[in-house]
Amino acid sequence: AQKITQTQPGMFVQEKEAVTLDCTYDTSDQSYGLFWYKQPSSGEMIFLIYQGSYDEQNATEGRYSLNFQKARKSANLVISASQLGDSAMYFCAMREASGGSYIPTFGRGTSLIVHP
């Protein structure tokens, strides 16, 4: 079974509008971390935001916020006030605490295109 599912292969948004990128995950661990990364066409993965499973509040980093719904096992990324430079691939990832591994599992990504 997929541990990270990103169901939207592509999303389009008008500049200055908000957009939500979906991510659902599957784990039996109680302790885990969720990450979002941005990958522009240059190829480098850029860390955006982190949510721990025990964090009671949704994480926010500037224009990025993570809508964490633990019971639904979803960790959607919300980008407010989209900019043209936000056009990129976005990857959701999860790191489980079991076994002491620090290796995250990545989803297949969502391509975001911001229109002027």
Partner 1 sequence: DTGVSQDPRHKITKRGQNVTFRCDPISEHNRLYWYRQTLGQGPEFLTYFQNEAQLEKSRLLSDRFSAERPKGSFSTLEIQRTEQGDSAMYLCASSPQTGHHNEQFFGPGTRLTVL
Determine contact, residues 12/18, Cβ cutoff 8 Å: no
Q: What share of the chain is helix, strand, coil (3-state, %, to 5)?
A: 5, 50, 45
Report the C-alpha gap between 74 and 87 in whole angstroms. 23
Query: Is residue 102 classed as helix, strand or coil in its secondary structure?
Result: coil
**Residue 25 in contact with partner 1, rule: CB under 8 A:** no
C-beta of 108: minimal distance to partner 1 in Å? 5
Which residue among 21, 82, 91, 114 contacts partner 1 (CB under 8 A)? 91
**Residue 16, interface with partner 1 (CB under 8 A)?**
no
Nearest distance from C-beta of residue 114 to partner 1, angstroms: 21
What is the nearest approach in angstroms of partner 1 to the Cβ of residue 40?
11
Q: Is 4 in the site for partner 1 (CB under 8 A)?
A: yes
Task: State the CB neighbour count (10 A cutoff) for residue 39.
Answer: 15
Identify which of residues 69 and 101 has a Cβ nearer to partner 1 in the complex: 101
With contact defined as beta carbons under 8 Å apart, do 77 and 84 qualify? no
Residue numbers of the site for partner 1 (CB under 8 A)?
A: 4, 33, 35, 37, 42-47, 50, 52, 91, 93, 95, 101-109
